[in-house]
């Protein structure tokens, strides 16, 4: 038998997937025909009768396809349209038309010829490109296929001649010429295999099947009398659907996509198929998906159009000036120029028709100056583009030798775009990868097999070797370890799809392994679980496989080499995926106890506030805004303005700003002197430049002010529903609101003014408010209305509503409010829990009703806003000094010149008789030489005035405006997630950005993401949590690099620093929870030595908070809207530990606790008696709860320093161990809190609660102090339970950014509220601190503060600063770098007047400075010290309300629109907004 490839002949009817199997049916269980209703189903195909489709209404699209841009008819108009889309060509056409006039200075050919050449060349290029597309189309259209001719014979016809209804015979490996209905195939059961790579990119084979009723049409002759009718859907682009019916032999059969063969798919593994054409040509689904050839223009071409507009405008302007001057000269002076009066029949120089002469000259000028727009440039560009396309086509580096395919530039219009690409979007399979799968490794029965390394491992090993060689070591060991090569295996002939190397499985060696049965089962799964088709190759005596995917083929190649097994088929199934359904919860009971109305006796109602002294004069008439239109009750309107100028103040204020510049004052003086008769120049030459500079600067100010005005108007024109007095609410702009108006604010709307909450969509008058724009906090705050106004719960109830509010005057304090409401002859006290502040947002509440108390600039948020500051850059101030010097020099030169002139006039003028012209103004009077000298002084000041260049100011103003535009359009500062671009609020400080010496940055939300992950904890003195933080990973990596640099192996360090518990890495990531420790998960905590303490720890996490739960049906668990990211992370952790906070009411918290024994949830109710809120001053939060047994517990969490000070003597059992763990967590860059509890007796609690309620309902300025004192009485004698550690992730790219800033010589100060250990380790993680950098830590011991006086503490700090400064000065290594770390308590002393400059000198000598535990005020003071002390440019950057003071103090402020809110951006009117 001759060698060669012989295909195995198998009966294929059983080798297809179960998607194609016809299940046995009962006689009455046949599929029913489709019922067509409505439009979209008008297709009617007469099978084997194509002649019926030659006339309407059955005439359909031919099978001829065209993808060209033009045809013979449309080429000329469309190509000309394309050419004249270019503005330059329109201009050249206009110039050519003008050149045909008799006034043209040039021959018409000189204008028409270049235009014709450019347009002709471009159209020729388009024609050639279109011809190539046409030839490609014809190559497809002229493909041949066998078509039935009506006599049982199939003859070859081109694809383009096919018609709907034709029966075609497609043979193996041919493409389908149109969309066909499969009638039968070479297999007796009507199956065929189709490759759809040209349609959907998939290389796997798909199985199609014909109807059973057409299986008898299995030979050419059977089609002689074949007739049938197909009624189906109209042409559409959907590749995966088809609906239709076949009427054949008086029966109707439903059709579906499994019978449809789509154009451009290929017949595979099937001898032939018969099909009838349903959709032809452009009606086919693949062509319905095709788009027309787009007409694209390059960026440069569009840019050139804009340049043409500018140049053409300039050309017209120049020509108009020239023709106007010509007309004036012709009118006034031409009559006296008798020698120029030649015959003029065309009236080109007619003084009587000067306007006509000027118009003729305008045409002449437009042609004469037309070379300002160079047509030669366009000629060159077109030639270059054509040549570039030729070079691309002939580029040897883009030639594919395997297929003989060169690169092909389909168009040359976009060549230059290739050099401007910013982003490449690429497919992976087949583009980055070969789509060729190689079986490389496997794991069987827990044993890994396969010795060869993957490309990824090779690349990693190569990189590691390069890194080690860079440190002077030899990387060969690493490389050999990464790329093992079994002995003798490398001699095997390479096999496509099989790169496996392991002698343990090859040549039957697998039988010697410990689990041969499992190995056999593994191989059989590979051999049986697939849908591939084998092909026998006698030359190699083996099978190759045509599989659905390359992976499947690789599995079978592996099997052949291992066992010589054959393959079979397999069916697949799909799984439904449940969607995510958001739980709908009633929220009215989900608020904190800051808003609880405690039960009172009838005589225990809160008393109204008593107002004494000034500051309480506000009087608001509710629902009677008309009473506030006249004094004394007329208050500020709700219109707000943050602009620097208005219509009245713009001129005086803007002129004042301009004449703050010394140069402008000088130019004004020079302009005034130029008006004198002794001026050597025209006054216009001095006044015009000054007017231009000042005008441009004022225009720039006006534009910037206009942008602010438009932002204000955008806010002012927001709409809100306002009561009109008849029980009806109608929409009004915010700006039209008045004090006393009743408004209805709906969910997710902002409050338009400061409102008194009257009622809400909840029965109990609760609403949820987001104050992110006020204080940067993303947590929701709960507000409550008075009980007396709860009945005002509908629009109609406000018809007769009246009331009076007497309260405090407008003030900037966001967190206080004192007032009374007089309603229905009663007086009710008001507090901040009833006040809704402007610019906060209503959340999770349908609507609220409120009455306006403070409007416009009286509102608290506007009272906090600062006026737009007027800042001047360093360069501008420096230029003022230079002007002083130059003006002094100018006056000195002028004085010397005028003195010399006076002497010459006095002594020598009498003898110069020939110069003695009439001199009535005595400019050269020898008898009054002093006056002549004074006149010469004025002349000299003007004459030498160009020593101070006014043109420089013109250039600077233009450059500043353009810089601001570039900043706003900088794509690198565009945030894609929020769609927020950078925004330069002013262009006055642009040049300062290039002069920044020191950057002062916030940490949380700026360097880090403000996204907390629960990572570790310490409970009962035992540490839990195995995963490493980013800081630990960075430190371990740095340590490994250092050890490798010293010739040691860093692998042990690295593995110790980054432990990974076995099996834990398979857990699905949970947002907010990165904890890994099997001792606490899945109920294993019950096996620990202190399960009671562990349970208490988990319950504190689940109970001590103010969060709101939301149920997620997809995960079957709750998510939480918490006050802070830390709190959210604690609740997620409690949920994962089996203590899931699930529900909250006004009086209870419900927790679902999971018991490991049954894995069932037990819902427990804890009565919530009191909540002591967290504040930045208290640094702790407590709840008092009563469990189901009646035991009352105080649960507390807070800063470790605060909690440890409040521990009882018997509550310090775990203090030493916990303190050690807290220090370790701090060193790992984690944020920590301590957890404690206290058991309460009912009598003790009752006595304390009475005191607490008295303090809570007290009225007066000492209310907060009383609450703090009563809270302190409860929060003492605590028992320590443990501590938590959460991680704040770094922002992407922060370390690289800080590295580049350091290389550029900029100093970076980080001002943070974190403790020192956390800040230091975050510093290492973000490259602010580096290994080898010497740290100077200046701190104050708590014991020292307690034992010593303030003077002694200060002396100790002075000594530390002095020693540190001395150490820096004595350092001999010029490359040594120092880092200064100082805490907030020490900083308080360091910022005092007598010590701050010494501290600053030390800080300036250090490369990095970190200030820990600092307050917002200290941030501002440090910024002011750096700015004033160094005299250099400072830049502050932050994203929260606590950063506003720091940013306002800096020379340049950058406000980040981030997680903590927008207040930092709204306050900074003159700051870069990014």
Active site members: 1002
**Other beta carbons less than 10 A from residue 525's beta carbon:** 13
CA 583 to CA 624: how far, in whole Å? 42
Q: Is 164 helix (H, G, I), strand (E, B) or coil?
A: coil
What residues have CB less than 8 Å from 716, skipping those under 6 apart? 638, 639, 640, 733, 734, 735
* 1006 marked as binding residue: no
* 555 marked as binding residue: no
Q: Which of 1184, 1214, 1180 is nearest to 1200 (CA)?
A: 1180
Helix (H) or strand (E) holding 1323: helix 1316-1325
Q: Is 268 helix (H, G, I), strand (E, B) or coil?
A: strand
3-state helix, strand, coil in the chain (%, to 5): 40, 20, 40
What residues have CB less than 8 Å from 1167, skipping those under 6 apart? 1147, 1148, 1185, 1186
DSSP string, 167-224: EEEEETTPBPSSEEEEEEESSTT-EEEEE-HHHHS--SEEEEE--GGGTT--SGGGGT
* 292 marked as binding residue: no
Which tokens sit at 47?
Answer: 């099978």
Q: How far is CA 911 from CA 904, 920, 933, 1116, in A?
A: 11, 19, 18, 114
* 1384 marked as binding residue: no
Q: Is 298 helix (H, G, I), strand (E, B) or coil?
A: coil
CA 932 to CA 1137: how far, in whole Å? 99
Which tokens sit at 626?
Answer: 């008309």
Q: Counting beta carbons within 10 angstroms of the beta carbon of residue 156, is it exposed (0 to 12), middle (13 to 18) or buried (19 or more)?
A: exposed
* 1197 marked as binding residue: yes
Q: How far is CA 968 from CA 1, 697, 706, 994, in A?
A: 78, 19, 16, 17
* 403 marked as binding residue: no
* 1262 marked as binding residue: no
The upper half-sphere exposure of residue 869, i.e. CA atoms within 13 Å in the direction of its Cβ, equals: 17
The DSSP 8-state label assigned to residue 743 in this structure reads E
Block residue for tokens 């400064």: 1365
CA 1471 to CA 1466: how far, in whole Å? 10
* 1231 marked as binding residue: yes
* 330 marked as binding residue: no
* 279 marked as binding residue: no
* 312 marked as binding residue: no
Say how far residue 1442 (Cα) sits from the centre of its chain: 24
CA 14 to CA 533: how far, in whole Å? 11
Q: Is 98 helix (H, G, I), strand (E, B) or coil?
A: helix
* 1174 marked as binding residue: yes
The angle that helices 662-673 and 950-968 make with each other, rounded to 10 degrees, is 140
**Other beta carbons less than 10 A from residue 1108's beta carbon:** 24
What b/e sequence results for 1175-1206 when a residue is b if at least 16 CB atoms lie within 10 Å of its CB, and e otherwise?
eeebebbbbbbbeeeeebbbbbbbbbeebbeb
DSSP string, 827-851: EEEE-GGGEE-TT-EEES-SEEEEE
* 1443 marked as binding residue: yes
* 939 marked as binding residue: no
Residue ranges in 717-845 assigned as alpha helix (H): 772-775
* 297 marked as binding residue: no
Q: Which of 1074, 1094, 1073 is nearest to 1032 (CA)?
A: 1074
CA 355 to CA 352: how far, in whole Å? 9
CA 13 to CA 34: how far, in whole Å? 28
DSSP string, 474-486: --HHHHHHHS---
Show binding-site residues for Mg(2+): 1002, 1004, 1439, 1443
Show binding-site residues for ATP: 1002-1004, 1127, 1174, 1197, 1231, 1312-1314, 1413, 1419, 1442-1443
Show binding-site residues: 1002-1004, 1127, 1174, 1197, 1231, 1312-1314, 1413, 1419, 1439, 1442-1443
């Amino acid at each position: 038998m001759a060698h060669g490839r012989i295909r195995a002949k198998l009966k294929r009817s059983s080798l297809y997937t179960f998607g194609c199997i016809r299940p046995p049916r009962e006689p009455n269980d046949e599929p029913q025909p489709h019922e067509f209703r409505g439009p979209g189903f008008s297709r009617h195909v007469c099978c084997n009768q194509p002649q019926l489709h030659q006339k309407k209404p059955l005439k359909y699209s031919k099978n001829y396809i065209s993808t060209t841009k033009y045809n013979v008819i449309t080429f000329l108009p469309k190509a000309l349209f394309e050419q004249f889309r270019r503005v330059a060509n329109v201009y050249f056409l206009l110039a050519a038309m003008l050149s045909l006039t008799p006034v043209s200075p040039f021959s018409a050919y000189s204008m028409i010829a270049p235009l014709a050449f450019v347009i002709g060349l471009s159209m020729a290029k388009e024609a050639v490109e279109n011809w190539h597309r046409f030839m490609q189309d014809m190559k497809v259209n002229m493909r041949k296929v066998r078509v039935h001719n009506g006599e049982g014979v199939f003859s070859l016809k081109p694809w383009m001649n096919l018609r709907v209804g034709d029966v075609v015979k497609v043979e193996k490996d041919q493409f389908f010429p149109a969309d066909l209905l499969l009638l039968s195939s070479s297999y007796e059961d009507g199956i065929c295999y189709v490759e759809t790579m040209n349609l959907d990119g998939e290389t796997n084979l798909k199985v199609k099947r014909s109807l059973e009723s057409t299986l008898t049409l299995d030979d050419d002759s059977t089609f002689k009398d074949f007739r049938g009718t197909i009624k189906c859907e109209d042409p559409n682009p959907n590749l995966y659907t088809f609906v239709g019916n076949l009427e054949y032999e008086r029966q109707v059969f439903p059709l579906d996509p499994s019978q449809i063969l789509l154009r451009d798919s290929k017949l595979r593994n099937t001898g032939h198929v018969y099909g009838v054409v349903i959709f032809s040509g452009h009606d086919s689904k693949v062509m319905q998906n095709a788009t027309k050839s787009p007409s694209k223009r390059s960026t440069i071409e569009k840019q050139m159009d804009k340049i043409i507009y500018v140049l053409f405008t300039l050309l017209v302007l120049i020509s108009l000036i020239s023709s106007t001057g010509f007309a004036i000269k012709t009118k006034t002076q031409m009559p006296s120029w008798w020698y120029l009066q030649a015959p003029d029949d065309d009236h080109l120089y007619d003084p009587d028709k000067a306007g006509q002469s000027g118009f003729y000259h305008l045409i002449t000028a437009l042609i004469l100056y037309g070379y300002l727009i160079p047509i030669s440039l366009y000629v060159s560009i077109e030639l270059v583009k054509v040549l570039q396309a030729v070079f691309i086509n002939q580029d040897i580096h883009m030639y594919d030798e395997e297929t003989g395919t060169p690169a092909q530039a389909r168009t040359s219009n976009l060549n230059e775009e290739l050099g401007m690409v910013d982003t490449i979007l690429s497919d992976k399979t087949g583009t980055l990868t070969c789509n060729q799968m190689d079986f490389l490794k496997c794991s069987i029965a827990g044993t890994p097999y396969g010795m060869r390394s993957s490309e990824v491992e090779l690349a990693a090993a190569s990189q590691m070797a390069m890194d080690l060689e860079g440190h002077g070591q030899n990387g060969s060991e690493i490389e050999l370890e990464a790329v093992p090569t079994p002995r003798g295996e490398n001699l095997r002939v390479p096999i496509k799809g099989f790169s496996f190397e392991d002698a343990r499985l090859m040549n039957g060696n697998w039988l010697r392994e410990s689990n041969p049965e499992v190995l056999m089962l593994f191989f059989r799964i590979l051999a049986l679980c697939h849908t591939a088709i084998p092909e026998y190759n006698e030359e190699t005596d083996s099978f190759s496989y045509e599989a659905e995917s390359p992976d499947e083929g690789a599995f079978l190649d592996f099997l052949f080499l291992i066992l010589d097994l054959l393959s079979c088929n397999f069916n697949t199934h799909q799984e439904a995926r449940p969607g995510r359904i958001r739980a709908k919860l009633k929220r009215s009971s989900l608020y904190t106890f800051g808003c609880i109305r405690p039960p009172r006796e009838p005589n225990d109602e809160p008393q109204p506030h008593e107002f004494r002294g000034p500051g309480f004069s506000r009087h608001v008439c509710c629902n009677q805004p008309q009473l506030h239109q006249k004094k004394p009750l007329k208050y500020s309107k709700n219109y707000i303005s943050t602009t620097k100028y208005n219509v009245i103040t713009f001129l005086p204020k803007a002129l004042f700003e301009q004449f703050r510049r010394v140069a402008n004052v000088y130019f004004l003086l020079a302009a005034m002197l130029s008006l004198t008769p002794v001026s050597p120049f025209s006054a216009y030459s001095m006044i015009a430049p000054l007017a231009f500079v000042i005008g441009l600067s004022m225009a720039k100010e006006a534009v910037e002010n206009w942008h602010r005005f438009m932002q204000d108007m955008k806010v002012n024109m927001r709409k809100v529903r306002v009561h009109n007095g008849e029980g009806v609410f109608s929409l009004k702009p915010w700006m039209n609101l008045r004090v006393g108006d009743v408004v209805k604010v709906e969910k997710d709307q902002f409050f338009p003014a400061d409102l008194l909450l009257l009622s809400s969509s909840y029965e109990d008058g609760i609403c949820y408010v987001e104050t992110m724009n006020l204080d940067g906090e993303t947590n929701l705050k709960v507000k409550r209305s008075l009980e007396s106004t709860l009945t005002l719960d509908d629009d109609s109830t406000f018809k007769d509503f009246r009331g009076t509010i007497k309260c405090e005057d407008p003030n900037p304090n966001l967190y206080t409010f004192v007032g009374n409401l007089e309603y229905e002859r009663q007086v009710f006290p008001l507090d901040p829990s009833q006040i809704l502040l402007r610019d906060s947002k209503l959340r999770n509440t349908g609507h609220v009703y409120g009455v306006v108390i403070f409007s416009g600039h009286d509102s608290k948020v506007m009272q906090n806003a600062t006026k737009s500051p007027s800042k001047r850059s360093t360069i501008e101030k420096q230029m003022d000094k230079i002007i002083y010097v130059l003006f002094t020099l100018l006056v000195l030169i002028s004085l010397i010149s005028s003195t010399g002139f006076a002497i010459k006039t006095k002594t020598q003028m009498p003898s110069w008789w020939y110069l003695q012209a009439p001199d009535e103004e005595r400019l050269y009077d020898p008898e009054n030489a002093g006056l002549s000298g004074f006149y010469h002084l004025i002349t000299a000041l003007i004459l030498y005035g160009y020593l101070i260049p006014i043109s420089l100011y013109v250039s600077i103003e233009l450059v500043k405006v353009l810089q601001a535009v570039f900043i706003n359009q900088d794509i690198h500062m565009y945030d894609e997630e929020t769609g927020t671009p950078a925004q330069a609020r002013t262009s006055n400080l642009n040049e300062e950005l290039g002069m920044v010496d020191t950057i002062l940055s916030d940490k949380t939300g700026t360097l880090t993401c403000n996204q907390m992950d629960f990572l570790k904890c310490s409970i009962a003195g035992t540490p839990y949590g195995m995963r490493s933080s980013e800081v630990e990973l960075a430190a371990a990596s740095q340590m490994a690099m250092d050890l490798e640099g010293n010739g040691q192996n860093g692998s042990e360090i690295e593995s110790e620093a980054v432990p990974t518990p076995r099996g834990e890495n398979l857990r699905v990531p949970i947002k907010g929870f990165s904890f890994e420790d099997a001792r606490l998960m899945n109920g294993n905590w019950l096996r620990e030595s202190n399960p009671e303490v562990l349970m208490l720890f988990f319950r504190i996490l689940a109970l001590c908070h103010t969060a709101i739960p939301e149920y997620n049906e997809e995960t079957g668990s709750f998510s939480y809207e918490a006050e802070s990211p830390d709190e959210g992370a604690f609740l997620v952790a409690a949920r994962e530990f089996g203590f899931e906070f699930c529900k909250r009411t006004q009086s209870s918290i419900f927790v679902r606790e999971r018991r490991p024994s049954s894995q069932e949830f037990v819902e427990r109710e804890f009565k919530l008696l009191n909540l002591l809120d967290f504040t930045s001053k208290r640094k702790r939060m407590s709840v008092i709860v009563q469990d189901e047994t009646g035991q009352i517990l105080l649960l507390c969490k807070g800063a470790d320093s605060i909690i440890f000070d409040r521990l009882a003597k018997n509550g310090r059992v775990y203090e030493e161990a916990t303190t050690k763990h807290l220090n370790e967590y701090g060193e790992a860059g984690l944020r920590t809190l301590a957890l404690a509890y206290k058991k309460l007796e009912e009598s003790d609690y009752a006595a304390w609660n009475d005191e607490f309620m008295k303090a809570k309902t007290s009225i007066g300025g000492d209310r907060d102090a009383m609450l703090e004192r009563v809270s302190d009485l409860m929060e003492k004698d605590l028992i320590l339970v443990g501590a938590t550690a959460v991680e704040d992730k770094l922002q992407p790219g922060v370390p690289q950014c800080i590295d580049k800033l350091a290389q550029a010589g900029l100093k970076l100060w980080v001002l943070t509220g974190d403790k020192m250990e956390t800040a230091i380790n975050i510093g290492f993680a973000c490259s602010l601190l580096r290994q080898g950098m010497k740290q100077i830590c200046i701190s104050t011991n708590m014991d020292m503060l307690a034992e010593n006086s303030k003077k002694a503490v200060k002396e100790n700090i002075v000594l530390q600063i002095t020693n540190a400064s001395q150490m820096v000065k004595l350092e001999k290594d010029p490359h040594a770098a120092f880092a200064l770390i100082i805490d907030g308590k020490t900083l308080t002393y360091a910022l005092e007047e007598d010590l701050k400059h010494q501290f600053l000198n030390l800080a300036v000598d250090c490369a990095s400075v970190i200030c820990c535990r600092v307050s917002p005020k200290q941030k501002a003071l440090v910024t002011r010290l750096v700015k004033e002390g160094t005299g250099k440019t400072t830049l502050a950057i932050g994203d929260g309300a606590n950063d506003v003071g720091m940013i306002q103090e800096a020379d340049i402020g950058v406000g980040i629109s981030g997680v903590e809110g927008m207040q930092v951006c709204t306050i900074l009117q003159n700051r870069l907004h990014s």
